[in-house]
Amino acid sequence: MIQLWGGGTTRTMRAHWILHEASVAYEPVLIGSRTGATQTEQFRALNPKEKIPVLIDGDLVLSESAAIVSYIADTYARELIPQPRTVDRALYDQWCSFVLMELDAHTLYVMRKHRDLAALYGEAPAAIDTAIAGFKKQVAVADAHLNQHEYLVADRFSGADILLSVCLSWAKLYGIDLTDGLIAYNKRLTQRQAYRDAAALNFSISAGA
Ligand SMILES: N[C@@H](CCC(=O)N[C@@H](CS)C(=O)NCC(=O)O)C(=O)O
């Protein structure tokens, strides 16, 4: 039985959502972040980075939320990801890298680190201001694309939309104003049954302090 470790965060949400989209039966192991549960000997053996989510499928132990999204789609739901070695797959990879770097690591996560987790990482108001400005500038590129297309790649729902939608929900939670177009796109995606079922499970525990 496939296992997915982790819950309560936007990164774990990505993995729960793709598993639900793919209708894959799995056992959720709902450990939370910053609870100490990622520092046990058992968990460190799965992921020495001490981070959730982690997927176990047979002999494969896979961390990194975006890698999990692509693996599940490639293996169990090929309609959710363009085929390898195609132009659409290159564009899919481009959008995934964009979301992970420009909307997650460089911007939203900077806000998380220096605002929510300032006790650990230090306060940095200037970094937060530039993170918000950076997020708005970068997300405008996705907005312009989505004004012309229903989805990010090949005009069909894919794992890349999961990554973007989760970041848009995260931005909303942080009080960042989004355009009507992005709000409508996100609403459409979060109305999917798979999203609702995954969110009910993922957010049944909280993110941790
Ligand atoms: N790049 C990783 C980031 C994973 C990550 O940072 N996870 C956080 C929760 S969102 C975590 O597990 N932190 C360790 C802890 O809080 O115990 C991914 O996308 O999967």
Question: Do 112 and 187 sit in the same domain of this protein?
Answer: yes
pLDDT at residue number 4: 98
Range of the domain at 162: 87-192
pLDDT at residue number 208: 65
Average predicted confidence (pLDDT) for the chain = 97
State in Å: Cα 194 to ligand 1 middle: 22
Name the pLDDT band for 199 (thresholds 50, 70, 90). Answer: very high
Question: Do 109 and 58 sit in the same domain of this protein?
Answer: no
Question: Do 69 and 94 sit in the same domain of this protein?
Answer: no
What is the domain count for the chain?
Answer: 2
CATH code of the domain in which 141 resides: 1.20.1050.10
Question: Do 106 and 187 sit in the same domain of this protein?
Answer: yes
Question: Do 93 and 188 sit in the same domain of this protein?
Answer: yes
Name the pLDDT band for 188 (thresholds 50, 70, 90). Answer: very high
pLDDT at residue number 206: 87
Instruction: State how beta strands 2-5 and 26-29 pair.
Output: parallel
Picking from 45-54, 173-182, 186-195, 199-208, which range would have the lowest pLDDT averaged per residue? 199-208
Question: Do 38 and 113 sit in the same domain of this protein?
Answer: no
Please write the tens of the pLDDT for every residue from 117-151: 999 999 999 999 999 999 999 999 999 999 999 99
Q: How much is the average pLDDT of 54-74?
A: 98
135 occurs within a structural domain = yes
pLDDT at 209 over 60: no
Question: Do 10 and 56 sit in the same domain of this protein?
Answer: yes
State in Å: Cα 51 to ligand 1 middle: 4
pLDDT at 100 over 60: yes
State in Å: Cα 4 to ligand 1 middle: 14
Question: Do 58 and 93 sit in the same domain of this protein?
Answer: no
pLDDT at residue number 114: 97
Determine contact, residues 194/20, Cβ cutoff 8 Å: yes
- DSSP structure string for 127-196: HHHHHHHHHHHHHHHHHHHHHH-SSSBTTB--HHHHHHHHHHHHHHHTT----HHHHHHHHHHHTSHHHH
Question: Do 71 and 121 sit in the same domain of this protein?
Answer: no
Q: Is 137 left (phi over 0), alpha (psi -120 to 50) or beta?
A: alpha
pLDDT at residue number 207: 75
Question: Do 179 and 91 sit in the same domain of this protein?
Answer: yes
Q: How much is the average pLDDT of 67-79?
A: 98
208 occurs within a structural domain = no
Question: Do 56 and 110 sit in the same domain of this protein?
Answer: no
CATH code of the domain in which 30 resides: 3.40.30.10
**Ligand 1 residue neighbourhood (C-beta within 6 Å):** 9, 11, 33-34, 38, 50-53, 64-65
Closest by CA to 166, choosing from 4, 15, 3, 7, is: 15
Question: Do 96 and 152 sit in the same domain of this protein?
Answer: yes
- pTM of the full predicted structure? 0.97
